[in-house]
């Protein structure tokens, strides 16, 4: 519904808690970057910022804009005893990836260079499938011999330093450009190695990209921004290839720059531009050393003075430790999970927690979950290849031995408000974040 010029609108984007930028970098979580394409050797690109404006809605009573705390002192200027400002070393910039040598990819090299292809699936020497625009199709490539396919496998393993053998017939690794690779070889496969490559995107997706693609609309984007800045614990659920990691990367971009972030992943996929952040990666077992699991990294992250802990995906017993993180003052933590609905996500979380071997009764685990998780976001890939957020639910507590949920937004093709008001609005209001009530009505 369009508003006339005299109708009040939503409050401005949520301000930066520090009230000042760090080294000319936009730190306002209400400011979102447009896509940044990696520069070529002859072309320079520049970054442009664009605010997330509040979504259009029906007229509401005026809302007081969120007041930012007193400005923090400029970290790049020091004051001498005589009161004269003297320059100090500049704040460090985020590390940029180093250009390493990519392996020779042979027949699939053109597929690797096509920016529209997101996934390459070498089933075996018989065929190669690709995902393009969210749709899976046949690439037309067939390997003439098993030797040619084995050569591609050796090239990847030589560059990544991993070993594929009959005793260890599958490998998870990463190419120098950031693409994720899974290789399964004989004796587990019959017609040569099976290689699955999820390509690293050329640019980082922003909330504006998700709005443009229809994954979320302006209203949902505004709600997600308030949820992240307001330090709600978020669980993202979805199937394989539904866009969980992409959405998680966008949510990470909303985190204020003054907060310390610890990320934990199997294969690095999360993009964190904040300077005050640490990326941790699990270490697989080798003949000379024991593995370092995600559970050990989650437990160790508590000793690293984190404001937020983000686990790329909970697959095993680290889910139990992630709940402890969320329940011990590290609010605003996030993780993803494979599940088909918010309710299924809670059930799978219970199962993963029981794998931790804590011997807690099921009702105790459910109370841990109900206390830890605030919001569950369900994302799905539709039949036409589009990825959409189809459900946003709030965990409201326990009734007897059952975790209670209330759906805030629902819709298979278009996400609509259910009319239910989240119970966490008071928590957001305490932090100076005012979310208009008509955001939750159609």
Tell me what pLDDT residue 392 has: 97
Question: Around Cβ 439, how many Cβ atoms within 10 Å?
Answer: 22
Higher pLDDT, 81 or 354: 354
Using the CB atoms, write b or e for 177-200: b if 16+ within 10 Å: eebbbebebeeeeeebbbbbbbbb
| pLDDT reading at 426 higher than 90 | yes
For residue range 239-284, list pLDDT tens digits in order. 988 999 999 999 999 999 999 999 999 888 898 988 999 999 998 8
Q: Label residue 410 by pLDDT band (50, 70, 90).
A: very high
Tell me what pLDDT residue 267 has: 84
The β-bridge relationship of strands 234-238 and 334-338 is parallel
- Find, among 201, 203, 206, the residue nearest to 33 by Cα: 206
Q: What is the mean pLDDT of the chain?
A: 81
Q: Label residue 129 by pLDDT band (50, 70, 90).
A: very high
pTM of the model: 0.75
Tell me what pLDDT residue 285 has: 79
109 vs 321: CA distance, rounded Å? 41
Q: What is the mean pLDDT of residues 34-50?
A: 37
Domains of the chain, earliest start first: 106-198 (3.30.450.90), 207-440 (3.40.50.300)
Tell me what pLDDT residue 18 has: 38
For 213, residues 6+ apart whose C-beta sits below 8 A from its C-beta are 386, 387
For residue range 287-303, list pLDDT tens digits in order. 788 989 999 999 999 99
For residue range 368-390, list pLDDT tens digits in order. 999 999 999 999 998 888 899 99
78 vs 102: CA distance, rounded Å? 44
Tell me what pLDDT residue 64 has: 37
């Amino acid at each position: 519904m369009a508003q006339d010029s005299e109708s009040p609108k939503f409050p401005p984007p949520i301000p930066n808690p520090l009230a000042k930028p760090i080294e000319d970098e936009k730190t306002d979580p209400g400011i979102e970057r447009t896509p940044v394409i990696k520069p070529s050797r002859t072309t320079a690109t520049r970054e442009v910022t664009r605010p997330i404006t509040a979504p259009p809605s029906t007229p509401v009573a005026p809302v007081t804009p969120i007041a930012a705390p007193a400005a923090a002192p400029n970290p790049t200027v020091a004051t001498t005893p005589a009161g004269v400002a003297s320059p100090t070393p500049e704040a460090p910039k985020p590390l940029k990836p180093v250009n390493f040598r990519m392996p020779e990819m042979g027949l699939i090299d053109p597929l690797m260079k096509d920016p529209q292809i997101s996934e390459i699936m070498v089933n075996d020497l018989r065929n190669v499938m690709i995902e393009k625009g969210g749709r899976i199709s046949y690439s037309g490539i067939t390997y003439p011999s098993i030797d040619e396919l084995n050569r591609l496998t050796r090239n990847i393993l030589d560059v990544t330093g991993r070993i594929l053998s009959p005793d260890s017939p599958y490998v998870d690794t990463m190419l120098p450009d950031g693409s994720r690779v899974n290789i399964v070889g004989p004796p587990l496969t019959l017609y040569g190695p099976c290689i699955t490559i999820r390509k690293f995107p050329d640019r980082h997706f922003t909330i504006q990209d998700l709005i443009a693609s229809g994954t979320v609309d302006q209203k949902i984007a505004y709600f997600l921004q308030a949820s992240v800045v307001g330090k709600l614990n978020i669980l993202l659920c979805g199937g394989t290839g539904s866009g969980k990691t992409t959405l998680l990367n966008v949510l990470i971009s909303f985190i204020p720059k003054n907060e310390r972030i610890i990320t934990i992943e199997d294969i690095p996929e999360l993009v964190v531009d904040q300077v005050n952040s640490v990326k941790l990666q699990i270490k697989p077992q080798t003949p000379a050393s024991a593995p370092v699991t995600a559970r050990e990294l989650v437990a160790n992250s508590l000793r690293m003075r984190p404001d937020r802990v983000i686990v790329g995906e909970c697959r095993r017993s680290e889910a139990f430790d992630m709940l402890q993180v969320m329940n011990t003052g590290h609010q605003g933590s996030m993780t993803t999970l494979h599940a088909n609905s918010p309710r299924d996500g809670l059930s799978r979380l219970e199962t993963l927690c029981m794998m931790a071997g804590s011997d807690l009764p099921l009702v105790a685990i459910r109370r841990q979950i109900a206390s830890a998780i605030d919001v569950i976001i369900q994302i799905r890939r539709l039949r036409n290849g589009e990825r959409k957020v189809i459900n946003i639910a709030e965990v409201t507590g326990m009734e007897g031995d059952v975790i209670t949920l209330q759906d805030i937004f629902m819709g298979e093709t278009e996400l609509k408000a259910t009319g239910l008001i989240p119970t966490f609005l008071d928590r957001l209001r305490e932090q100076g974040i005012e979310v208009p009530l008509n955001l939750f009505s159609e």
